[in-house]
Structure 1
């Protein structure tokens, strides 16, 4: 993982907190040696962090004689952040502690096409309900993270011409939610935050990873050299709108023909099954039919995996990741979808690029977006700059 201490300014208290963010208890002497200051200076900085409720003493360390040395560690349970995963047809909202552990979550079916006000009001409603459920005050909330199913301008948090989100272009999502929660709001593309959540949960030491979400839409979050790759305009990884030969003249929701999403997404597979006489209105129905052993559904899902594998083969040659993670509702079909991906990727890509490659199902499952959005909020809330702001507000 990237060493967050590299970017921590030498402001003393905030620098010290970055050392303690890993959750490992340390004595004052150990901290003084690591930071390179006197033990008395460390004691003052620890006192400041304790006043903020961010660190506290834990069980005594073994002593070599005399008074035992108290160890200091981050207090993960004193504050919380809110993560919101806004999908094309659902919302999933969760509260996590400062270690990223989910404390409570809630979900609701809601089309993103209902518009920003209705969707974000529902996020605020669910988030406020979770705070009340846990007996938390609004002052316990440090930040909110949101993942949206479309391109997002990272500097402003505003959606930019999202193809499946009518009424969202240029909408001030951070400002709208900040008015309701009174804390900083961070916004990014949903697959980007999923890649962050999955890496945190299962692949913390992997530097090059592609997370593929295959659900109502198809997209990819790219971790390159340990850093999330957004691109110049925030659309890196938008593989769902790459034209594929098998798409023929299928009309995509973005207005173009032949996109991967129009061929291999959950709704696209459902339409194919309808044409075969099966009852399937969406990706969930496809998953249910596969679980029932319906062979036509299994064949359609396997082919959808092959179609995604075609695009990933090109991505693999460009990015050379060591792990490809498959998430979203289509991953819930078990090995059938992933087997199709593997079949094409391993047969179409140079052996040197695949000799150590793992193609796996998401560990976080349907929680990946919510957990990733919470990580987005955590990285901001616990940054050196944010800690400095907390200290300044205390004076």
Structure 2
């Protein structure tokens, strides 16, 4: 709860009743119960003004009554709070070889989900068609009508122009370059559709669920490719063209003779991704075709796989040491399918990062495994939608829709 103030904030004095209601709602997003008197004291607005805006929010369903506060005499005042179940969100994680679709509430809590082995190379119509149909089935199974759907969030395994939701020259997504993802989904589900790179939304999901107090966090995805989601000063950093965090194509010293699929040599991805480690082991006579095989081998005590994963961790750590010096994060989270190898990769990363980075940057640095695991991306895709629809402008739109429906 913010400190009481005798003067209303500039935001709360914005012109138009719906704008004021949208701004007032931001105080309620922490989910804690408030009374009208507490809101009036905090904002400096007249109690009658607050009461009117609260009534609008109650009508929309975004706020619900949660009982009564203790009375100091007379009728006990009502308490009310954000209602995360007022709307549903569809969140989709499109990977190189899989698609996961989840139904969540406005807090990102996963209510139900579906997963299929579906390569992104099948093309946008096939993959997004599965997303839309799975989403409709999840809504039907939950008993929620489609008009209670707040929006759709989608993570894609390649660069995305966030403003339009269109993939931009994605290396492992044939047929997706420039495709109108938003328009395709909205033909069936006419709601806001937000699209971003998968590792960006994994960073959002991990932070929202497990590190809400951390303003500087790096999420590193190690799977078919290697990338990072950068949260700095509490904000996701996408860069000028949406390619911020593409660690997979940073050059690593020991890879001077290793050719990457991008055409350069020595890229981190060509040395430390799941496929790269599997290829290395196969060259040593170990049966491994993909990253999952490497993880299984290590789990069963295969020494060659354990050593290869430790070296992959060192290679990743070499790149991350530069990131630590440049960005000074307080938490680095390792996720993606290869993070299932856990301590083996982690040991290599820590070994190099703590050796290469100055003590001031690492004294309080935590390097940890993802706690969200396979759900990090759908949790982040849900956050992408919630941040949009629960913004002041988004709440205004919901209030206007409720008024028009009435």
TM bracket (short chain):
over 0.9
Give 1:247 shift: 2.2
1:329 match? 337
For residues 174-323 of structure 1, the aligned pairs below 5 Å read 174-323=182-331
TM normalised by structure 1 equals 0.96
Q: Assess if the C-alpha contact under 8 Å between 2:12 and 2:20 holds in 1.
A: no
Over residues 119-161 of structure 1, what are the superposed CA-to-partner deviations in whole Å (9 max), with x where a residue is unaligned?
1111112211211221111011111111111111121111111
1:25 aligned residue? 33
Work out the CA distance in 1 between the residues paired with 2:385 and 2:12. 17
**2:114 partner SS:** strand
CA distance in 1, matches of 2:92, 2:82: 24
CA distance in 1, matches of 2:295, 2:10: 45
Among 355, 369, 380, the residue aligned to 1:361: 369
Partner of 1:345, secondary structure, is helix
1:262-317 C-alpha deviation (Å, 9 max, x unpaired): 11001111112222222222111111111111111111111111110111111111
Shift of 1:8: 7.3
**What do you get for the CA RMSD once the two structures are aligned?**
1.8
Unmatched 5+ residue regions in structure 2? 1-8
8 Å CA contact retained: 1:212, 1:218 = yes
1:7 Cα deviation after fit: 6.9
Are residues 14 and 169 of structure 1, via their aligned partners in 2, closer, same or farther at CA, if it must alter by over 3 Å? same
Matched, 1:172 2:180: yes
* Aligned-residue offset at 1:250: 2.6
SS in 1 for 2:76: coil
Is the partner of 2:326 in helix, strand or coil? helix
- Counterpart in the other structure of 2:168: 160
Moved more, 105-114 or 8-17: 8-17
Aligned length: 393
Could you tell me how far apart the structure 2 residues matched to 1:52 and 1:13 are?
A: 11
Q: Shift in Å at residue 6 of structure 1?
A: 8.8
Aligned-partner SS, 1:324: strand
Assess if the C-alpha contact under 8 Å between 2:157 and 2:198 holds in 1: yes
Partner of 2:6: none
Partners of 2:253 and 2:266 within 8 A in 1: yes
- Structure 1 unaligned segments of length 5 or more: list them: none
Moved more, 275-284 or 380-389: 275-284
Distance 2:106 2:149 in 1: 10
- CA separation of 1:180/1:254 partners in 2, compared to 1, >3 Å: closer, same or farther? farther
| Post-superposition CA distance 1:367-389 (Å, at most 9, x none) | 11110011001101111111111
Contact 1:198 1:372 survives alignment (8 Å): yes
Within the candidate set 74, 99, 124, 1:91 is matched to 99
Contact 2:12 2:24 in 1 (8 A): no
SS of the equivalent of 2:32 reads coil
Evaluate the alpha carbon distance shift between residue 9 and residue 67 of structure 1 in structure 2; reply closer, same or farther with a 3 A threshold: closer
Instruction: Give the distance between the partners of 2:155 and 2:13, measured in 1 at CA.
Output: 29
TM superposition shift of 1:391: 2.2
8 Å CA contact 1:88, 1:164 repeated in 2: yes
Q: Which shifted more, 9-18 or 231-240?
A: 9-18
How far apart are 1:249 and its partner, in Å? 3.0
Q: Find the aligned partners of 2:56 and 2:233 in 1 and give their Cα distance.
A: 35
CA contact (8 A) 1:8 1:18 kept: no
SS of structure 2 residue aligned to 1:37: coil
CA contact (8 A) 1:216 1:265 kept: yes
CA–CA distance in structure 1, aligned partners of residues 136 and 117 of structure 2:
18
Partner of 1:149 in structure 2? Answer: 157
> 1:221, CA displacement in angstroms?
0.5
